[in-house]
Amino acid sequence: MNTNGRVLVLSDDAAFAASACGILLAQLPAASCEALTPDRIRANPDSAAVVLDGRGDTPTALERARLYRAMGYGGALVIIGVADDDQRATAAQLGNAFVAVEAMASELVPRLAEGVQDAASPFGEQLRRARRLVAAGELALKLQHALNNPLAAILAESQLLQLDATDAEQRAALDRIVAMCRRMVELLRGLDGVGERKPA
């Protein structure tokens, strides 16, 4: 790992962030460590590595990691927390390391070093591109899932209202709503091929 690199520790818990920075600086004295709350990072993090606090909410930490990868962040990314096997697999698929809270002192720096080496390898750009595509595909699937149910409800209600509409102006408006909903359904179906579906 570039020992002069900047490491961001993103946590709402100041004591945890200070502890993580202390561990990093003890093993990498030339590195710089900055603790920030996650909501302060709205763009691609400007650092060699990012440490995300996933202790209280691992799914949110994974979502942030997915977002950073989709924005093109290619540096080392480590999530610290408690996770099930699916969450660990998701983190690995995105090129993120996962460190259990109890192993933070011994595993944090080696995991960051692995991530930085991956980013600097000859295949680093391909790896970053693949990670961005995976993250974008997962975001597309979540978007599709989040929009399908409300859209189906609007379409069904509009079609029911069409049956009772007697006024020509009202009927024309409902026809436009139904047509737009059907167009959105087709657009969402196009997202099916963007990301891989997990087996049910």
Same domain, 75 and 165: no
Same domain, 189 and 157: yes
What domain range is 169 assigned to?
Answer: 128-193
CA distance 193 to 109: 37
Q: Does pTM surpass 0.75?
A: no
Q: Please check whether residue 1 lies inside any domain of the structure.
A: no
CA distance 74 to 125: 8
Same domain, 176 and 152: yes
**Res 2: pLDDT:** 42
Same domain, 139 and 75: no
Same domain, 12 and 72: yes
**Res 123: pLDDT:** 47
Q: Please check whether residue 56 lies inside any domain of the structure.
A: yes
Q: Please check whether residue 24 lies inside any domain of the structure.
A: yes
Q: Is the pLDDT of residue 95 over 70?
A: no
> Residue 129 carries which side chain, given as an amino acid letter?
R
Q: What is the pLDDT of residues 53-78, one digit of tens each?
A: 888 887 888 888 888 888 888 778 88
66: domain CATH number is: 3.40.50.2300
Which of the pair, 45 or 174, is modelled with greater confidence? 174
Same domain, 151 and 188: yes
Q: Please check whether residue 200 lies inside any domain of the structure.
A: no
**Res 3: pLDDT:** 38
Q: What is the pLDDT of residues 96-138, one digit of tens each?
A: 777 777 776 677 777 666 655 554 454 455 556 666 777 777 7
CA distance 37 to 50: 12
Same domain, 18 and 98: yes
Count of domains for the chain: 2
CA distance 194 to 134: 9
Q: Please check whether residue 14 lies inside any domain of the structure.
A: yes
Q: What is the pLDDT of residues 128-181, one digit of tens each?
A: 666 677 777 777 878 888 888 899 999 999 999 999 888 999 999 999 999 999
Same domain, 133 and 114: no
Q: Please check whether residue 94 lies inside any domain of the structure.
A: yes
What is the secondary structure of the chain as a DSSP string? --TT-EEEEE-S-HHHHHHHHHHHHHH-TTSEEEEE-GGG--SS--SSEEEEEESS-HHHHHHHHHHHHHTT--SEEEEEE---HHHHHHHHHTT-EEEEGGGHHHHHHHHHHHHHHHHHSTTHHHHHHHHHHHHHHHHHHHHHHHHHHHHHHHHHHHHHHHHH--SHHHHHHHHHHHHHHHHHHHHHHGGGGTSPPPP-
Which of the pair, 37 or 107, is modelled with greater confidence? 37
